[in-house]
Structure 1
Amino acid sequence: MKKETKIVHRRFPMLVRLLLYIYVALMLVVIGLMIGYGILSNPFEVFRIETWQHIRDLMRG
């Protein structure tokens, strides 16, 4: 008796799925940064280099 092997066809290949998860994760991080920083100030200031330099200076003392 011969065993029948079932071929599974995925709608989205694994690479596409992985890239989609990474993209969604990055978007959620950016949105979270904007919401978190938006409580203190203008949410779009989170994209300025000066903001991150100031945060780094605060952390280093």
Structure 2
Amino acid sequence: MEETPKKLVHRRFPLVVRILLFLYVAIIVFFAGLMIGYGILDNPFEVFRLETWEHIINLTEV
């Protein structure tokens, strides 16, 4: 019984490129979500200020 040779799969984008693209899109979506969520309360660009995060951390500390 002869084994048939396996066909090589040629992918359009290599696995490493897919992973990097996924991480890039995930980071963009994360920051967009932060801006939308915080933008309901105040200026969306204030989410990038350090003082905002210090205030949020102080509010959540027990």
Instruction: Tell me the TM-score normalised to structure 2 length.
Output: 0.91
Once residues 37 and 8 of structure 1 are traced to their aligned partners in structure 2, the CA distance between those partners, rounded to angstroms, is 45
Report what 1:21 is aligned to: 22
* Unaligned residue ranges in structure 2 (runs of 5+): none
Aligned to 1:59: 60
Q: What is the count of residue pairs matched by the alignment?
A: 61
Partner SS, residue 52 of structure 1: helix
1:2 Cα shift? Answer: 4.8
Alpha-carbon deviation of 1:4? Answer: 2.9
| 5+ residue gaps, structure 1 | none
CA distance in 1, matches of 2:40, 2:15: 38
User: What RMSD, in angstroms, separates the aligned Cα atoms of the two structures?
Assistant: 1.1
Letter in 2 for 1:57: N
Aligned identity (percent) is 59
Offset, 1:5: 1.8
What are the superposed Cα offsets for residues 29-61 of structure 1, whole Å, 9 maximum, x if unpaired?
Answer: 100000000000000000000000000000114
Q: What is the one-letter code of the residue matched to 2:36?
A: I
Letter in 1 for 2:39: G
